[in-house]
Every structure is written in structure tokens, then in C-alpha cells.
Structure 1
């Protein structure tokens, strides 16, 4: 059913809801990025071994990405997108309860619950956001959302820094996260009442759009897998910085904060560029991705800083254009499943690439760097084919343009 308001009113309402959704994501990031920033030390404090810390992280991520497939399918079949969003965000309540954890087993269970919540809400959240951004330009809408999201990614760890300096432990930080949780749920309730059926924000032209051939979507998936697998994970980068004495340990959080700030700015710029120029904007991912390992795994401080900046820029494109394009090239009735599959490909590729890079780092760093660059070159080749197929199916209209 089409939204009853005219195009100008629809666009204004859509912008408001996109900003509100960004605020929800911001509060969510304050909660779970804050918790993740101290997960290892907190589990160690409660008596966990290094193996347990790695196991908890692995199990949490595995379940989170596995649930994306299930929740994406359920979202499309039931059309209860808001239900899954509320359920997934509601499971963030596990994080403030970490303040009461008396054992590493209890803390581990709460960390895993938080990751499962992420898996449940992600496809439905992206599907709703794809509806809201149809009239504003999907790249720009996803860019606004990502920029606000990254504010939370910076603030969350800072809360724990302050709490630790004030009390000497992390429990106070976890307890403080109850405040953003309540605010997050309140904003979600407002959104639910203002947009009970987000699909009405998507114009008829988008609803009737023909789906691209499976071959084109498969190539897009392969491109995503290759470029993400060849993208260096920040934990490995920061490990190298400290192990080689390139960056003082006290500056590692600063480097990460700089990367997150660049992510937020690039998300806005790349989103706007996607709406104007289409899929070609995605070429930034493999091109910049080739330079990242050459800079961050060297021995120079200046190169490390430049690499961190480029790392944040690639993340900004990944979180904006890569996700916006999924909506533009899938039918609205299959949007939840599409995001479930996309997020699973993304997560599995990131895990596989990180595992290979970590092993090669110990065996042969030049080989590791060569592999990362080679994956980006291969991704670039696949991207050329995917872009041709996808844009050809759109009849010349650029993917992110408002319909």
C-alpha cells in the first residue's frame, strides 16, 4: 500500500525516520561496542582463559551470522519486521546485566546473547532502512545511518575508559549502559508508531522493478566475499603496531577512534556519490583495500597512521554503499532474505580472511600482504562483470537514485 502523503511530505518523514533509526543504532553501538572493547579483559578478570575468550568470541559471531539467514527468511515470510527489530535490540539488555555477572560462565552467556540479538535484528533492520531510503537516495540514507552509528562506536569505549579510571573496574561501565538501552527502546517505540508499515515509504516504481538475473547477484556476492576476505582486521593491525613497536600502546585507541571518525565522514560522501554515480562508487573498496596492508604492516609510524585512515575509509564504503546496493537490486518482497544472505557472506568472508591472515602473519608476512592484495585485484575483476550485469538490468538508472 502506497504512503498516503505527497512526495515532499513522504521525503521529510523518511528523513526524520532515518535520523531516528541512526540514533537507535548509535545507542546500540554505545552498548555493544563498549562491551566488546573490554570483553577480553573482563572475562580474564572473572577467571576465563585465553582459549575461553577466543571460544566465546567465535561462538557468538558464528551464532550471530547463522541467525541472519533464519531471521531474514522469517522477516519476509511473516512481514513482522518490527517484531524482529524489537526482539534483536531488546536482547542488548544482556550487556548491562554483565555488571552482575559473578562468573566467566555467566558473562560468556550474556556476551553470546548480545551477538545473537545482532543476528536476529540485522536483516529486518536493513530491510526497513531500505524502505525509508527509497525516496531520499539509498546511498545518502544509509550514509546518514552509518555516520550516526559510528558516533556510538566511539562513545561506547570511552564510557568504559572513564568508568575504569573512576572505579578501577568495568562493572560501573556495564551498569551505565542501562541508560542508553532505555533511550534506544524509547526511540524505537516512537519509530514503530510513526511507521507501522515501512513498505509504504517505497514508491510504486520500486515495487514493480524487475529483479536482476541470478548470475548478476551471484557475482555481486563473490565480489563481496573477495574484497572482504582481503580486508585486514583491525585487531591484527593493532597487534602488529604494538608487537613491532610502531605505535605506542596508549595510542591504539586513538588510531581506532580516528578510523571510526573517517568511517563516519566517508559514509556520507560515498553514499551521496553512489546516488549520483551508481555502483561505480564500490570500486573504492578494492582499490583502497590494496593499499591498506602495504601501509599498516610496514614499520613507519606515518604509514601506519595513513593506513588507519584508509582502513576507516574502506569501512565507510562497506557499511554504506555495499548495503544500499543490496536493496536496489533485490525485490522488496525478498529484501529480508537478501540481507540475511549478504550479511552471512560478509561475516563468513571476514572470518575466513582474518583466520588466513593471522596464520600467514606468523609464517610469512610478505605472503600475507600478497594474498590480501591479490584478493582485492580478483575482487576488482569480478566487480567489473557484476556492475555490467546489474546496471544493465536497471535500464540505465543508477542504483541509488530516488525512484
Structure 2
């Protein structure tokens, strides 16, 4: 049954845990959104797990083409992320803006059943990622609006944990399908569509529309309407600029997981045989670390965990590039990548949420996510060219060296946040 909270003056408060338990629990809204993300990630990650092989093997495209497509997968959502966040804040309808994005991504799954060339795959990936761009900031605003400020890291950690259960199940389902039907890529795409549609239904029927602006008396409506005119200068304040800059510096050196897995596959019989399960391994590690690192971020500071988490990414690059035993290299890469995402994904959203006001929360989160998406698009496309020009190991070593330089630079940019705990920086 749909639970309507849209007209309640204290909707956000009622969605939060009551009393002193607030620091130790998360709201039912966060859990339900996690289930929606779980279903959606089963859909998207079952496709993502087979896409590198489908593109380079079945369609016979080059690594440059894969780099472009992987860059689109990582970054095309940047086109609409701020628009999605702004629409959520402007209309005060985060649920329905998010619903639009989830529905568009589900519709894009239909295109996978018919796409058979570079142009068609590009169109499908673009539509899917635009849907992701629309939905992500409003969804994260719902999470933040349903949570106590001091437990934002934990709330995002719980959501990302559920999200990554789906991200682990998706590749596992794809692996089983391809194990039974070796050329069953279209069966994977059909299953992906089914899970996406179920996720859209759960969001529309169950998740409450937690509003960021409480209802006010009629006499205050004029001032409320005026407040809807966005205070862009407040959003792009010095503190927010530092978060955007730090995320961008590190994002430009975050290549897609698919490239790391392709490097492992090229030299490892183990990685080649179990390719779709590499995504499962990464997400299982993410699942294990999401809540503990979210709690740690609340205690010691979100920016600190975010920056330090990139050392795990550096470790993954180093292991992929060096001559290490096949099985050991594969396992280490999966552990490092999972730990990296657990330390950065939800933690960065929580950092953006604490840096903005409730009225600009979705747009602030979207701005940070846009920077990450754009820089990762550039990174993936650039790495495809670098691989083609230098070879896989030299290209990976070059990116690792640059990331080693970028981490302290980003720490310097985020220095005012590094001495703070999970509470907002004054």
C-alpha cells in the first residue's frame, strides 16, 4: 500500500527513527529505498558484468570503443544530475523525480533486446545512464531527509549495503545464465528488464515522498514561494567548492572497473574463466565494508574516509599492473576495489549533504555526483586510448602514479574537512 506523507507537516521527522535510538538505527524509508536499489542493481549489474565481453567478444569492438562506452556508462548521467537535483528541490517532490529516472532506465532495458551495433548500444547506455542521473540525487535527498544528521554516514552505508547486495546478485545471475546457455546474453537482458520493472513498482507503491520543506501557514506561502528561487551562490560556497574540487581531482583518475577486470582477464586464466563473477567479488567486499566505513566516517570525518579510501583504489591499480600470481592478483584487486567504493560512494554523498542546506540538498549532492560522473567519463575514455597507445600494464602503471600524486593534493584541498567529525564544518 502506498504510504502518503506528502501533506504531513512533519513528514521528514516521522520518517526518521524516534528518540535516542536515532544514532543506532536507520528509518524504514532508507531500508525501502535500499530494496529499490537492490532490485535496480540486479538489473543494471547483470548487464554491466557481461557488457565488456559482449562488446569486445560478441560485437567485436576495440578497446577504444569499449572505453567510449564505459565512459558513457560512467559519465553520461552528468548531463542531467544537477537538473534532477534541482527539480527535486524546486518542486519538493524527490520521490517522483527519482521515479522518473528509475522508469526511464527500465525502459532503456527494452532497447538491449534489439541493440546489435555500436550506435544502438550507445543509445541504450545513454538512456539508461540519463535515468540514473535523474534519480540519484533525489533518492539520496530522500535518504538524508529521513535520517538524523549525526547518522548520515550510517544511513548511506545501510542503503549502499542493500544496493550492493543487488550489485553482487546481478553478476551472479548473469554468470549462471551464461553457464547454462553460453550465448544467452539476451536472456540476461530480459531478466534485467524484469528486475528493473519490479524496482519501479516498489518505489511507486511503497516509498513515501519525504519532503524537505515542512508545510506552513497560508500567510507564509509568499515567503515559501520566494525561497524556492534557488540561492545558487550559497550552493557554490567556498566549502562546497572544496568538495567539488576534491571529488574532481580524484575522479579524473578513477577508471572503470571493467578496465581493471579486462587487464586481469588478459593475463589470468582464472579471471577469464570467471569474468562475470569479478563484479560479484567486488560487491561482496563493498557489502561487507559499507556499514562499518559509514560508521567510521560519522566518527572520524567523512572527508578523511573519502580521501583515505582512494589508497585502496591505488592498491587495485598496482596489483593489476604488477606480475603477481593470477589468483592472488584477482582476489586482491576485488578486495581493494570493494573497499574503495565502500569508503567513497555513500560517504561522498553524506559529505555533500552535510555541506548544503536542506533546501539545496538534492542539488548539492547532484553537483558532486556530476563532477564525479564527468571526470570518470574522461578517465575511462582517456584510459582506452592510453591502453591502445602504451599497452595494458604501462597504461595502468601511469594511472597509478598519477593517482598517488593526486591523493595528497585532494587532501590539501579538503583540509578544512579533515579535522572535522561527521558533523558539519563551520
When normalised by structure 1's length, the TM-score is 0.82
In structure 2, what is the Cα distance between the partners aligned to 1:296 and 1:31? 27
Q: Deviations over 1:156-178 (max 9, x none)?
A: 22223333344442233333334
In structure 2, what is the Cα distance between the partners aligned to 1:45 and 1:373? 30
Instruction: Report if the CA contact (8 A) 2:171-2:280 is conserved.
Output: no
Aligned position for 1:380: 408
**Greater shift after overlay, 127-136 or 39-48?**
39-48
Instruction: Report if the CA contact (8 A) 1:31-1:92 is conserved.
Output: no
User: What is the CA-CA distance between 1:41 and the residue it aligns to?
Assistant: 5.5
Aligned position for 2:191: 176
Q: Deviations over 1:151-204 (max 9, x none)?
A: 111212222333334444223333333442343133213444x4442656xxxx
Rate the CA distance shift 1:39–1:232 in 2: closer, same or farther, 3 A. closer
Give the number of equivalent residue pairs. Answer: 389
CA RMSD, Structure 1 to Structure 2 (Å): 3.5
Q: Which structure 2 segments of 5+ residues have no match?
A: 1-8, 215-233
Rate the CA distance shift 1:350–1:62 in 2: closer, same or farther, 3 A. closer
1:156-305 maps to which residues of 2 (within 5 A)?
156-167=170-181, 168-192=183-207, 194-197=208-211, 214-245=237-268, 247-279=270-302, 280-301=304-325, 302-305=328-331
In structure 1, what is the Cα distance between the partners aligned to 2:395 and 2:69? 29
In structure 1, what is the Cα distance between the partners aligned to 2:148 and 2:202? 21
Q: SS where residue 38 of structure 1 aligns? A: helix
User: Of 29, 40, 43, which aligns to 2:41?
Assistant: 29
1:2-401 maps to which residues of 2 (within 5 A)?
2-3=10-11, 5=14, 8-9=17-18, 11=22, 15-39=27-51, 50=62, 58-59=71-72, 62-98=75-111, 100-101=113-114, 104=117, 109-134=123-148, 137-167=151-181, 168-192=183-207, 194-197=208-211, 214-245=237-268, 247-279=270-302, 280-301=304-325, 302-361=328-387, 362-363=389-390, 365=393, 368-388=396-416, 390=417, 398-399=422-423
When normalised by structure 2's length, the TM-score is 0.78
Q: Which structure 1 segments of 5+ residues have no match?
A: 201-210
Instruction: Report if the CA contact (8 A) 1:237-1:297 is conserved.
Output: no
User: What is the CA-CA distance between 1:276 and the residue it aligns to?
Assistant: 1.5
Instruction: Report if the CA contact (8 A) 2:17-2:27 is conserved.
Output: no
In structure 2, what is the Cα distance between the partners aligned to 1:47 and 1:372? 30
Rate the CA distance shift 1:260–1:271 in 2: closer, same or farther, 3 A. same
Q: SS where residue 306 of structure 1 aligns? A: helix
Instruction: Report if the CA contact (8 A) 1:137-1:400 is conserved.
Output: no
In structure 1, what is the Cα distance between the partners aligned to 2:16 and 2:123? 47
In structure 1, what is the Cα distance between the partners aligned to 2:16 and 2:268? 56
User: What is the CA-CA distance between 1:346 and the residue it aligns to?
Assistant: 0.4
Q: Deviations over 1:121-171 (max 9, x none)?
A: 112112111212235701100001111111111212222333334444223
